[in-house]
Amino acid sequence: MIEVDPKLQIEDSYISFRFSRSGGPGGQNVNKVETRVELRFQMDACPALSEAHRIRLRKAFPSYVTTEGEFIVVSDLTRSRERNRSDAIAKLVEMLTATRRPPKRRVPTRPSRAQKRRRLENKRKRSEIKRTRKLDGAD
């Protein structure tokens, strides 16, 4: 079981792993050992996720979601299968945590009377500076 937070735990039955050969440098190790990890999370079937959370996850990470509703995370950072497996789980947890709650809406506010006065005062000062520049250059 993967614990995202105390209220959200994902059963192991909704997660599967695939291993393949990793690319990049590494000599013979790359050619013979399957260290690349592909974590497949069946998010559409998982009852731990709410429908709103699924929608936010799809919107935030569209390239990770398949048409079958699987969320795929890949890791091939290290030469160790177990460390890549842990890294893939950590990535999944991070993505689920990031989309846990909807973003807070901004409450529109108006500038105060003092802010308006300061802004207009600064505009007048700046205008005066530029006007005097033009007059100085005419001499």
92 backbone dihedrals φ, ψ, rounded to 5°: -60, -45
Q: Which domain holds residue 123?
A: 114-139
Q: Which CATH number is 10's domain given?
A: 3.30.160.20
Are 76 and 132 members of one domain?
A: no
Q: What is the pTM of this model?
A: 0.68
CA 108 vs CA 3, 23, 120: distances in Å = 37, 50, 22
Are 64 and 30 members of one domain?
A: yes
pLDDT in tens, the chain (139 residues): 887 777 887 888 888 888 888 776 667 777 778 888 999 998 888 888 888 888 988 888 899 988 888 899 999 888 888 899 999 999 999 998 888 888 888 899 999 999 999 999 999 999 999 988 877 665 5
Are 49 and 92 members of one domain?
A: yes
Are 90 and 139 members of one domain?
A: no
Structural domain contains residue 52: yes
Are 135 and 80 members of one domain?
A: no
Q: For the chain, how many structural domains are there in total?
A: 2
